[in-house]
Structure 1
Amino acid sequence: MLKTKKIGQQFTIDIPKQWETRTIESLFKDHWKAPKKLVHELRMDKSVLVNGQEANWTSPLHLGDTLSIPFFKPEVSTVQPTYLDIAILYEDDHLLIANKPAGIDTHPNSEEDDHSLLNGVAFHLQSKGELYYIKHIHRLDRDTTGAVIFAKHRMAGAILDRLLEERKIKRTYMALVEGKLKNSSGTISDPIGRDRHHPTRRRVSPTGQTAVTHYNVHVYEAKKDTSLISCQLDTGRTHQIRVHLSSIGHPLIGDILYGSSVKLSRQALHAYKVEFTHPFTEEKILCKAPFTDSPSIFPDINI
């Protein structure tokens, strides 16, 4: 874990031995793989410092040098803060993880929408006096609960986006499905496309986008003729888990849109766990989200 801290608008980091002889240029380009536009803005601003002095971007860094980068500049947010009593599972200077309840969207879908998870997170940050950029890194369906990652500055947003694209952010979902699956684990790799007969529904389609879902079956006897499974995704298509499980004859309990015969307040799907290496501290982050409406959806589950 690297030695870092926030001082005003600056992110400071003590250069470790493994970064010795690296340049600031190579740190941004090769280590963080930061977007060229953001790096260019930092260079032009001349506010990146080494040991309190304007940095030379091509000179080698040395063990014990203190690098300062202005990640935390306040900026006007277009997100309306709304108090929604959101549970924050993890937070530091760069990112936070919130536990999304059922019945709200991850982000606003119109200018009038001010009751999304993003609005609730914006209120949380405003209440702490943090008037910064805020961005969701991934999303959950309106009636899916669980962990959602948010970036608290632009560099964190760009790097977390890349980690997600490179599958370096591991997300585990828990689902209750109809019927007993024959195999204890498996992979569904059927492409997913829009259903031309329904405005929001998706379907398995040979002309759709690549979609890969891995699943494992857990011991579960609370309800007959149901299976408790965990899922991990190689891709992030809309309704991917719901479509894939329905396509093999095991729709999610309560998922009427995809063929469930059981009526519940929502489909039984929960984003239970996220795991990744923190891009700035190199700490291993493992965050679990409690079930928000158990036992009504996930009864007698202890995992």
Structure 2
Amino acid sequence: MIFHKIIVMEFKVTINQNQDSKRAVDVLIDEFGISAQMQKRIRLYGNLWINDKPGRMIDIVHTGDRIVAHSSKNSSELLPVKTNHVPGVEVLFEDDHLIVLNKPSDLVVHPTMSHPANTLLDLLSDKKLHPVTRLDRETSGALIIAKHAHAHYRIVQNPIRRVYWALTHGHWTRQQGVIDQPIRRFPNSIMVRVVDQTGKSAITNYRVIYSFQEQCFDWVEFALETGRTHQIRVHSLYCGHPLLGDGLYGISNYCEFDQQTNFNILAIDPNLNFLNFHENSIAKDAYEIKRNIENKSKQNNLDSANLLEINPQRVGPEYQNDFKSLINEQQLILDRIIKRQALHSRLIGFTHPITKKYMEFKTKLPADIMTFLDYIE
């Protein structure tokens, strides 16, 4: 585990007439919105100066007075924090307080038990950074990282707009709607979440952007009103339309095969021309699948697969028949070709922690999903 240096915050303000005769701490709250934790940090570990003289948080200040407060006495770690260039990671915005990035897939954001090092935060800086929005390893797109605790605190005090694009199995009956189903951790599981009426409120708005009729999947836009772990993935599965390529909430988790039927050698229509994709990894994988099954019988397909019992917390009872119809060879092949969960953070919008201006950033679909869609089209 890598230990990061903590950034020292500095707050400077000159007292105006409206702030006359207030306590120093009240001025800092009005001006910067500092949290109770930051107040405590300044009081116990930092310092406060009023007109260049040591002061206290409870001291009364007057018009024209100047306050300077530090969250630590170690001034060597003051802002700004300079972040490193990380290959493949696009910087959408950066200042002294935060950085907005376009994360590629297959990159862990913050240290975990299974990935304690070489995460995005490690690569960006040896200072302690604060992810405001988090993306799974396989999810690409926009995310916000605060450079200090105060920026993190201030950003989350206001609504954050989060819009995602995803590819989902099957066709949604309604072209747009709201999924309002609470989510909780599945018993005895660290990772898995399920819909449960005893869980925390979770609300997802969705809109179908385009339906790929022949291949039976939809391009869907999701807008989050809440931010539960795996919310889009859990809600999509619950509605019977899991994300393409999702290894945790996808359709492949609901099949059993006998020893003669292996997912890697499922029969593929020989008329499909995978050779058009010889120049990229998706094409090569698709070509390998085709080559491996050329001599396999069409009898070795999902006709011999048995559907596992489906937990109604994972797929809603009213959606289970439609969901079971998606457990077929065509859909599993799509999962195999795309290689990762087809989820992308399209847009992030938030209020800047210092300037208090609303900011919004959009990202394009990443190359791997674009390549997949170009082939399908």
TM more than 0.5: yes
1:118 and 2:121 are equivalent in the alignment: yes
Decide which of 133, 136, 159 is 2:128's aligned counterpart: 133
Decide which of 191, 194, 205 is 1:200's aligned counterpart: 191
Aligned mates of 1:219, 1:111 — CA distance in 2:
36
1:157 and 2:130 are equivalent in the alignment: no
- Shift, 1:216, TM fit: 2.3
Decide which of 95, 101, 105 is 1:102's aligned counterpart: 105
- When the two structures are superposed, what TM-score results if normalisation uses the length of structure 2? 0.61
Aligned mates of 2:250, 2:9 — CA distance in 1:
51
1:170 and 2:244 are equivalent in the alignment: no
Where do residues 250-261 of structure 1 align in structure 2 (5 Å cutoff)? Answer: 250-260=241-251, 261=331
- Are 1:50 and 1:65, in contact at CA under 8 Å, matched by a contact in 2? yes
Where do residues 35-114 of structure 1 align in structure 2 (5 Å cutoff)? Answer: 35-43=35-43, 47-49=47-49, 59=60, 62=63, 68-70=68-70, 73-75=75-77, 84-85=86-87, 86-110=89-113, 113-114=116-117
Aligned mates of 1:239, 1:202 — CA distance in 2:
7
SS state at 2:370 partner: coil
Aligned mates of 1:45, 1:140 — CA distance in 2:
33
- Shift, 1:280, TM fit: 0.9
Decide which of 254, 258, 274 is 2:348's aligned counterpart: 274
SS state at 1:157 partner: helix
Name whichever of 213-222 and 276-285 sits farther off.
Answer: 213-222
- Are 1:177 and 1:253, in contact at CA under 8 Å, matched by a contact in 2? yes
- Shift, 1:145, TM fit: 1.0
Structure of greater Rg: 2
- Are 1:46 and 1:54, in contact at CA under 8 Å, matched by a contact in 2? no
Aligned mates of 2:45, 2:188 — CA distance in 1:
52
- When the two structures are superposed, what TM-score results if normalisation uses the length of structure 1? 0.74
Name whichever of 288-297 and 237-246 sits farther off.
Answer: 288-297
1:231 and 2:222 are equivalent in the alignment: yes
Aligned mates of 2:17, 2:210 — CA distance in 1:
46
Decide which of 284, 298, 301 is 2:358's aligned counterpart: 284
Letter in 1 for 2:104: P
Indicate how the Cα distance of structure 1 residues 23 and 220 shifts in structure 2: closer, same or farther if over 3 A, else same: farther
Where in structure 2 are there 5+ consecutive unaligned residues? 1-7, 252-330
SS state at 1:255 partner: coil
1:218 and 2:293 are equivalent in the alignment: no
**% identity of equivalent residues:** 30
- Shift, 1:255, TM fit: 1.8
Per-residue CA distance 1:120-175 (angstroms, 9 max, x = gap):
222xxx6xxxxx43121231111111122112122223333x42xxx612211111
Q: Which has the higher helix share?
A: 2
- Are 2:46 and 2:70, in contact at CA under 8 Å, matched by a contact in 1? no
- Are 1:47 and 1:70, in contact at CA under 8 Å, matched by a contact in 2? yes
SS state at 2:365 partner: coil
Where in structure 1 are there 5+ consecutive unaligned residues? 1-7, 127-131
Partner of 2:140: 145
SS state at 1:158 partner: helix
- Shift, 1:274, TM fit: 1.2
- Are 1:23 and 1:61, in contact at CA under 8 Å, matched by a contact in 2? no
Partner of 1:187: 178
Aligned mates of 1:168, 1:110 — CA distance in 2:
30
- Shift, 1:10, TM fit: 4.2
